[in-house]
Amino acid sequence: MKRFSIWKLTLKVVVIILILTLMVGPLVGIVLWSFARRWYWPSPIPQEFTLRFWHDVFAQGRVLDSLILSVTVALITVALSLALSLPAAYGFARYKLPIERILLILFLMPQAFPQLPVFINLASIFGRIGLKGNMWGIILAHTMASLVFSLWIITATFKAIPVELEQAAQNLGASRLKVFWTITFPLAVPGLIAGSIFVFLWSMGEFTAAFFIGAPFIQTAPVLMYTASMGYNMQIASVISIILIIPSLLFMILIERYLKAEYISGLGG
């Protein structure tokens, strides 16, 4: 029995180490590449370190411009996705629509097929109406593709809120609109925040739409990173990828702290 417990504990430790290696390993590699002047196989770490590539990236204004553009696109995408998803999700959660399942599947379509043909076709359409090669074309493409995250998450959130709470408030004389903003919406905020995080992270890292719709005038951070990696400049690509991660981490930390401070304590009881 004791031997079995030891084997069980050993297996757990091995699994945890394997998971951490798969999750953290690529990030460690990116950090090492960003400081590597020379790194040749089979050495596990670079033979020579340097800060030159960090200096080169920050000396180039286009890197920070691309990062600011990516953050701007992601934030506007989050706002548009929530504005479209909120009424649609409430309708799906509270009303029996005859084609509800079909409509939900339609929202899933942009993510159900390979992204490359979807965005190439969208780039062709946007080119005819003047949306190719500008920021708003990328934002609309991101909004269309990210609706599935916000809509499904917010719909599930509204369905989890007891309808009896709304009915009780209406029986006391509150209008439907007042019930929504004073009862339903505050209870749904954690779901809205979860949807916002998914949309923001997806938009920040999205490459295909930004490349085919934004080119050649608009260059987001993922497109800039792709250009550097295709030129086999692993150091520059690694620096850009680390910089690209920072806004996502800050966004998640701020949202998570806001969520804990304002809602978890109130909803947990």
153 in any annotated domain: yes
pLDDT (tens digit per residue) in 61-95 = 677 888 889 989 999 999 999 999 998 888 888 88
Question: In terms of domains, do 106 and 184 share one?
Answer: yes
239 in any annotated domain: yes
Number of domains in the chain: 2
User: What does the pLDDT read at residue 81?
Assistant: 93
In 3-state terms the chain splits into helix, strand, coil percentages (rounded to 5) of 80, 0, 15
Question: In terms of domains, do 195 and 154 share one?
Answer: yes
Q: What is the 3-state secondary structure (H, E, C) of 164-202?
A: HHHHHHHHCCCCHHHHHHHHHHHHHHHHHHHHHHHHHHH
For residue 26, CA distances in Å to 29, 30, 48 come to 5, 6, 20
204 in any annotated domain: yes
54 in any annotated domain: no
Higher pLDDT, 25 or 83: 83
Report the share of the chain in percent with pLDDT over 90. 9
User: What does the pLDDT read at residue 74?
Assistant: 92
Report, as an integer, the average pLDDT of 143-159.
Answer: 87
pTM for the predicted model, two decimal places:
0.76
CATH number, domain at 143?
A: 1.10.3720.10
- Given a cut of 80, whether residue 178 has pLDDT beyond it is yes
pLDDT (tens digit per residue) in 36-68 = 888 887 887 888 888 888 877 777 767 788 888
13 in any annotated domain: yes
Question: In terms of domains, do 83 and 32 share one?
Answer: no
Give φ, ψ of 173 to 5 degrees: 105, 0
84 in any annotated domain: yes
User: What does the pLDDT read at residue 79?
Assistant: 94
User: What does the pLDDT read at residue 112?
Assistant: 63
Higher pLDDT, 254 or 165: 165
Question: In terms of domains, do 176 and 109 share one?
Answer: yes
What DSSP designation does 98 have? T
Question: In terms of domains, do 116 and 177 share one?
Answer: yes
Weakest mean pLDDT among 15-24, 86-95, 106-115, 178-187? 106-115
Report the share of the chain in percent with pLDDT over 70. 85
State which residues form the domain around 82: 59-268
Question: In terms of domains, do 45 and 63 share one?
Answer: no
Question: In terms of domains, do 42 and 70 share one?
Answer: no
d(CA 234, CA 118) in angstroms, rounded, equals 29
d(CA 154, CA 125) in angstroms, rounded, equals 30
Q: Label residue 1 by pLDDT band (50, 70, 90).
A: low
Question: In terms of domains, do 102 and 187 share one?
Answer: yes
Peptide bond into 216 cis (omega under 30): yes
- Given a cut of 90, whether residue 140 has pLDDT beyond it is yes
* CB-CB contact of 80 with 136 (8 Å): no
107 in any annotated domain: yes
Question: In terms of domains, do 87 and 182 share one?
Answer: yes
pLDDT (tens digit per residue) in 216-267 = 778 888 888 777 776 667 888 888 888 888 887 787 777 666 555 444 443 3
Question: In terms of domains, do 259 and 152 share one?
Answer: yes
Q: What's the whole-number average pLDDT of the chain?
A: 80
16 in any annotated domain: yes
Token pair, residue 79, equals: 């706002």
Put residue 46 in one of left, alpha, beta given phi > 0 → left and psi -120 to 50 → alpha: beta
Question: In terms of domains, do 107 and 144 share one?
Answer: yes
Q: Which residue has the tokens 């992601």?
A: 74
Question: In terms of domains, do 30 and 159 share one?
Answer: no
